[in-house]
Amino acid sequence: MNGTPARCPLRALMTGIGVLALWTTLLGPQVALAGEAILPAGWLQGFHVSFEGRRIGSGKIRLETLARTEMTLRFRVSSRGSIQHPRESRTYEFQIDMQFELKGRRIRILSTHNTFNKDSETHAPTIERLAPFLYIVPLVIEVKTGDPERLSYLSGNGYYVLRILPGQNQIEGLLHCDDEPIGRFFFRAESERPGSWRMERIQVTAAGPYAVFFELGPRKALGGGRRDALKTW
């Protein structure tokens, strides 16, 4: 987990009037992915982290739906975790609390309250880039058509492409930022809820060819009222 994560700049092509015209034409009306989706209020899910088959950390993720209209979706992603470097005496500790707005395929950061210890600071950009997709990818999976799909998103820190690859009893989501893979999401069909899918694993490239896996436990549905994400853990 050494090294600075690869940057994810917006390409020079994705600027100016051309960008606005392109995204208005292609992405404007497609916020309907929020339709009849999951997350009535949200869910809480624990995870442990593994590297080369060895457990090296744990934490929790909380996803919340804040508001939804026909064209706009606001949501909150909060998480905390502690990960031990598999080969060095370093411990990566982080705590994030971010709110987003999804309008069409445009992602806007509404608020950020994140803390990282010294060892994890270099990985902060990677964590923050992945954060909104912890909510978005499960939402997309729930309303998938059953065929491979390629979805594009634009944020202040990058141009993203999400590829959905359906399989038998499982679905994989591949996330790229400016053509660079930054995450893989693995879903398993829920036997007790036909047609529903549970995110069970996330693969994140740490450095070079090495990959860290976040193994997710059972999800716990949240009740009606919104509460502070971190105080309830």
Which pLDDT belongs to residue 1?
53
Cα–Cα distance between 62 and 52 in angstroms, integer?
26
Residue 77 CA: distances (Å) to CA of 54, 81, 111, 168: 27, 13, 11, 29
Structure token pair of residue 203: 């693969």
Which pLDDT belongs to residue 141?
83
Which pLDDT belongs to residue 220?
84
Place of tokens 């450095």: 207
**Could you read off the pLDDT tens digit of each residue along the chain, which spans 233 residues?**
544 444 454 443 333 333 333 333 333 333 334 444 444 578 888 999 998 888 999 999 999 999 988 889 999 999 999 999 888 899 999 999 999 999 999 999 999 999 999 999 988 988 899 999 999 998 888 776 566 789 999 998 889 999 999 888 889 999 999 888 889 999 988 776 666 788 899 998 765 556 789 999 887 887 644 433 333 33
Residues found in the chain = 233
Listed in sequence order, the residues at least 6 apart from 210 whose beta carbon sits closer than 8 Å to its beta carbon are: 1, 51
What tens digit of pLDDT does each residue of 115-142 get? 999 999 988 988 899 999 999 998 888 7
What tens digit of pLDDT does each residue of 182-220 get? 899 999 887 766 667 888 999 987 655 567 899 998 878
Residue 74 CA: distances (Å) to CA of 37, 103, 128, 158, 199: 14, 9, 17, 19, 20
Which pLDDT belongs to residue 20?
33
Which pLDDT belongs to residue 206?
60
Structure token pair of residue 82: 């502690």
E-only strand ranges, 69-207: 72-84, 91-103, 106-112, 115-116, 149-155, 158-167, 170-177, 180-189, 197-207
Which pLDDT belongs to residue 175?
94
Which pLDDT belongs to residue 223?
63
